[in-house]
Structure 1
Amino acid sequence: MPIQVLSDELSSRIAAGEVIERPASVVKELVENSLDAGSTRIDVQVVGGGANSITVVDNGDGIPADELPVAFERFATSKIDETSDLITIGTLGFRGEALPSIASVARVEITSRHGGAEAGASYVVDFGKPGLLEAAGAPQGTRISVSGLFTNVPARLKFLGSGGRELSRIQRMLASLALVCPRVAFSLAADGRERLRTVGSGGILDAVSGVYGQKIADQMLLLEADESAAFSVDGLISSPSLNRSNRTYMTLSVNGRWIQSRRLTYAIEQAHYGFLPERRFPIAVARIHTPLDDVDANVHPAKTEV
């Protein structure tokens, strides 16, 4: 077979495999877009563990009507303009891959009204095929519905776990974002049943109460940062008497970006060495603050490693 340039459809399908692995990936990308839009409230609804449908509604800045079709083009973004911007990325998203990747493996309907606009607009992309841009009544913000995820990629669909297992992944991920961004009110409903709700007061203890319950929040120890320092860490840590059987209760962030780092979780574990029973782990929220040019967020498609 001769060397040839891949079609847009095939290249989009390949790119989707890098960015969108499962329903939780979709929720993460959409919620991070909402956070970048300055939202103070984000509501997530899923059906069938997200395989049937995912809906994310926010009260952020919204998208101008004429930019909705552009948002579904690969590498279209409002967050960076030139190479040097990669050095000081202050947003959670920046590549312009999320929406086109999702829309290549699902049906996506978006309704949005930009701040100051008299009316909103809606737009549909059906498994990579764009529809019509239409006027729509809507409050300021954005509503995105994703349905039929991976039905055009049967092998990927078979790879998904049960609805309950996929929901657990979504809930853990959204809980982590809620702890990292306590100023935002989050909610998660699954098959019509509420699974998570935070108040968005800005207080990290309130966020912990919404995620884990007030009883656990009352037992957490506050870590305060030196706000005058270029590098600082704040958050919460549990007392030795409050521990868990796995590491999923340790939440990490760098400059407001939720991350996963085996090295950092190991450091937290070592700080508790001798204080916890064997194979028990603390509950922790560690938020690292450092100059933007000290961080490279462009090392993995999922942007959970820096």
Structure 2
Amino acid sequence: MPILPLTESTARRLGSTLAITSPVLLLKELLDNAIDADATSMDVLVAPNTVDRIEVRDNGHGISPEDFDGLGRPGHTSKLRFLEELDTLGGRTLGFRGVALASINALADVSITTRVATEHVATVISLAKGGGVATRRHAASPVGTVVRVASLFSNLPVRQRAALKDAQKSLDRMRDLLRAYALTRPSIRLRFTVLQNPGLSWSYPPAVNGGVKEAALQLFGMDLASQCTFLTFPGEHSERDDGYSNFQDDTECSTRQEGGAIFEALLPGATADPLKVSKGAFVSVDGRPISTALGTAKKLVYVFRRCFEDHFATTASRNPPRDPFITLNIRCPPGAYDVNIEPSKEDVIFKEEDRIVGQLESFLSRIYPPSAPHGSKQSARADVGPSAKAGAERSSEGSLRSLPPQVR
């Protein structure tokens, strides 16, 4: 068979099925775009079968009429111009490739209602296949954007049947995704509505001046939130209202000055009831939620679970939960990681992964010192004195070697 170019529509559909593999990933892309538009409120409406309709409404800055023709066109984005800019974007933008809307448009019917502050009325656009405007009309709507996706995977019958079969799992994963965004960006109001099935709907109204602990309270209830404390590492060495400290020593001061990572964690305290905190792990980098089943995040969660289980091994009435709660955001200097490594953007590659893992293990070793033998008296708080630090400090290389083969 001779080498011949694919038709434009075939190439577009092939690339799109790699970028948008499920209704959940489609929703993630729309949420990322809304956050990048500075939205503080996002409403998600989903059909019970997850393919007839997925809609995201936001109160962001909207789309300028001058940009309408670029909508849904591959490689069209307002977020960067050159690949080298990725090193400096960090958490300032979640999207960057200019392919998400184009991919969605190749797999479904897309309409957009949008208005910027300088326009008196909104514009309703249906996208043409290949991008650009097929039809437009004016309508009354507030500043912001509504993206409605209909008939997802209608041109890929096997993919659509799979999505229909997994609809309930997809709805559960969508709620989990929204919880991850609420913990990562607790000031954003979120609402999830399953059409014709209000029992599956969910909402998150942020507390005034609330943070991640207030978000956890709303998402998981008082039983969990009361067991947790928020810490930064390295941080200013000051006592917190909950009796814990933000930890910092000379090595960590040096880390900050050199542009090292800073961990922001909401996690169970050293005297928590381990049976009340089995809600899983949530990890983000510069406010970008990433999968805990991939790469460095998987290793970090393993280190947390190991430290947690070692600490509570002799204090729990039964074995500690296998999936204890933590929400961890890693703040990094520009250029510390690469976000452009796989289609879903659910993983990053750190330039100094061993250092990241070693830092977290040092931090957690102070909060969760291993349990004392039965019959001995154990302090209710992690000892952060010199002797404890000496025992807790481990080399980054040693931390990675201690991971089991399936996690490395």
Check whether TM > 0.5: yes
Q: Which residue of 2 aligns with 1:57?
A: 57
Q: Which runs of 5+ in 2 are unaligned?
A: 237-252, 292-296, 314-318, 349-408
Q: Match for 1:196 among 203, 208, 225?
A: 203
2:263 is aligned with 1:241: no
Q: Relative to structure 1, is the Cα distance of residues 153 and 7 closer, same or farther in structure 2, using a 3 angstrom cutoff?
A: same
Letter in 2 for 1:296: D
- Farther-moved stretch of structure 1 (221-230 vs 277-286): 221-230
Equivalent position SS for 1:292? coil
Answer whether contact 2:87 2:334 (CA < 8 A) is retained. yes
Report the alpha carbon displacement of residue 10 of structure 1 after superposing the two structures with TM. Answer: 1.1
Could you tell me how far 1:87 is from its partner in structure 2? Answer: 1.6
Partner of 1:31: 31
Query: Displaced runs of 4+ in structure 1, greater than 4 A?
Result: 126-130, 243-246
User: Which residue of 1 is the match for residue 145 of structure 2?
Assistant: 142
- 1:284 lines up with 2:326 in the alignment: yes
In 1, the alpha carbon distance for the partners of 2:18 and 2:207 equals: 32
Q: Where does 1:167-182 land on structure 2 (aligned, <5 Å)?
A: 167-182=171-186
How many equivalent residue pairs?
Answer: 305
Q: Is the 8 A contact 1:75 1:97 kept in 2?
A: yes
Bigger drift between 103-112 and 204-213 goes to 204-213
The aligned counterpart of 2:214 is: 206
**2:299 is aligned with 1:263:** yes
Counterpart CA distance in 1 for 2:81 and 2:107 is 27
* Cα deviation digits, residues 208-256 of structure 1 (max 9, x gap): 123222332222222234278342111211245245897x720000011
Q: Distance in 1 between matches of 2:94 and 2:155?
A: 29
Match of 2:338, SS state, is coil
**Within 5 A, what are the aligned runs for 1:30-179?**
30-89=30-89, 90-125=92-127, 131-160=134-163, 161-179=165-183
**Aligned position for 1:11:** 11
**Greater RCO, 1 or 2 (C-alpha within 8 Å, sep 6+):** 1
Which residue among 187, 190, 193 is the counterpart of 1:186?
A: 190
Shift of 1:191: 2.3
- The residue type paired with residue 255 of structure 1 is D
2:243 maps to none
Gaps of 5+ in 1: none
By how many angstroms is 1:102 displaced?
A: 0.6
2:223 partner SS: helix
Give the 3-state SS of the residue equivalent to 1:170 in structure 2. Answer: helix
Separation of aligned partners in 2, 1:153 and 1:200: 43
| More strand per residue | 1
What percent identity do the matched residue pairs reach?
29
One-letter identity of the residue aligned with 2:344: A
Q: Given the alignment of the two structures, is residue 224 of structure 1 paired with residue 232 of structure 2, yes or no?
A: yes
Structure 2 counterpart of 1:272: 308
Query: Matched residues in 1 for 2:94 and 2:204: separation?
Result: 22
What is the identity, as a one-letter code, of the residue corresponding to 1:233? F
SS in 2 for 1:133: strand
| Separation (CA, whole Å) in 2 of partners of 1:73 and 1:295 | 28
Distance 1:217 1:263, change over 3 A: same
Letter in 2 for 1:235: A
Partners of 1:151 and 1:200 lie apart in 2 by 40
Q: Out of 60-69 and 215-224, give the one that drifted further.
A: 215-224
Contact 2:16–2:107 (CA under 8 A) maintained in structure 1: yes
Amino acid corresponding to residue 298 of structure 1 in structure 2: N
Distance 2:276 2:24 in 1: 23
**What is the CA-CA distance between 1:289 and the residue it aligns to?**
0.4
Q: Are the structure 2 counterparts of residues 97 and 9 from structure 1 closer, same or farther at C-alpha, using a change threshold of 3 Å? A: same
CA contact (8 A) 1:42 1:59 kept: yes
Structure 1, 82-91 or 150-159: larger mean CA deviation: 82-91
Q: 2:382: which partner in 1?
A: none
The whole-number CA distance in structure 1 between the counterparts of 2:137 and 2:143 is 16
The aligned residue for residue 241 of structure 2 is none
Which amino acid is the alignment partner of residue 67 of structure 1?
A: D
Aligned to 1:132, the other structure's residue is in SS state: strand
- Quick check: 1:243–1:283 contact (8 Å CA) kept in 2? no
Q: CA RMSD in A?
A: 2.2
